[in-house]
Amino acid sequence: QRAADLAAAITPCRTTDHVAVAVYANLGALKEAAPAIANGAEGCGLLRTEFLFLERHEPPGEDEQAREYQAIADALQGRPLAIRTLDIGGDKPIPYLPMPREDNPALGLRGLRTSLWKPELLRTQLRAILRVKPASACRILLPMVTDIEDLVTVRALLDECAKDLGIDATPALGVMIETPASAMLADQLAVHADFFSIGTNDLSQYTLAMDRGHPELAAKLDALHPAVLRLIDTISQAAHEAGREVAVCGGLASDPAAVPILVGLGIREISVVPAMIPRLKATIRTLDAQRCAELAERALTLGTATAVRQMMEAGR
Ligand code: PEP
Ligand code: MG
């Protein structure tokens, strides 16, 4: 039985009507990579690089970063690796990056905004990522994008770094869609971005105007809220129309009750907590994509996350 479980975990995953859904791992450290592969990850859909930058007195240099990213790429043995640039804000103070005090850190300098505020940090990180081999397995993911011009600025910086390093082809450059602004402008972002990854943790925080760390609101902050689902629908449609890949890497993708709806909304890639991969693959293998589309369509007409969850419980 264990051998059969293992075989099921490592084979690609299809619905009963043969729709392939790729399952990647979210990683936040080198030591998580090998267990994720053992659990059946088809690669890494989100490497949170903050682990390299926190709890130290100076930022990691280009060589150190290149070594760390390469070690993770090696552990993935040629499978895809999406490296997210630093996603840090005033809520996580680091000694070498003193931030102005902010009344609302979630609305302040964070994600890509911080990187563009300190472009030398971004340049170092981009150069380190460009050095990873095989380059074809590597992708770059930008967090907290709200402004198309920011993406254009990073693209120019990436091209400049590649030229300096004598590299001809740059890796795919994608954006996290995790604000209502980027969701609503997904069609225009698709002109400049090579791929999308939907961060449902922040997308629901900003859509529902609920702090994702607030203990009193935790039970109410549910990414299955129809307002969030409508945005995911908008993003998915924009991506498909533009011929761009779109993944979901936020916590919603690790929720077995939500996966049928994501598949129904046209999502064909998820990136999840590594320990959940076998269970999520088993769930996907029981799904019928046509039926998922019907469930998703119905979910979009409902008024609350509770109603969506009740529909899922009743319908399955
Ligand atoms: C998200 O916001 O959904 C996401 C994946 O990014 P993080 O949780 O690191 O903010
Ligand atoms: Mg996020």
Taking only the tens of pLDDT, the chain with its 316 residues reads 566 666 666 677 999 999 999 999 999 999 999 999 999 999 999 999 999 999 999 999 999 999 999 999 999 999 999 999 999 987 777 889 988 889 998 999 999 999 999 999 999 999 999 999 999 999 999 999 999 999 999 999 999 999 999 999 999 999 999 999 999 999 999 999 999 999 999 999 999 999 999 999 988 999 999 999 999 999 999 999 999 999 999 999 999 999 999 999 999 999 999 999 999 999 999 999 999 999 999 999 999 999 999 999 997 5
Orientation of helix 119-130 relative to helix 148-165, angle to 10°: 50
pTM, two decimal places: 0.96
Structure tokens at 202: 């922040």
Pocket test for ligand 1, best of 91, 201, 205, 246 (most atoms within 8 A of CB): 201
Residue 178 Cα to ligand 2 middle (Å): 6
User: Looking at ligand 1, which residue's alpha carbon is closest to its atom 6?
Assistant: 199
Any ligand 1 atom below 6 A from CB of 202: yes
Q: Of all atoms in ligand 1, which is nearest to the CA of residue 251?
A: 3
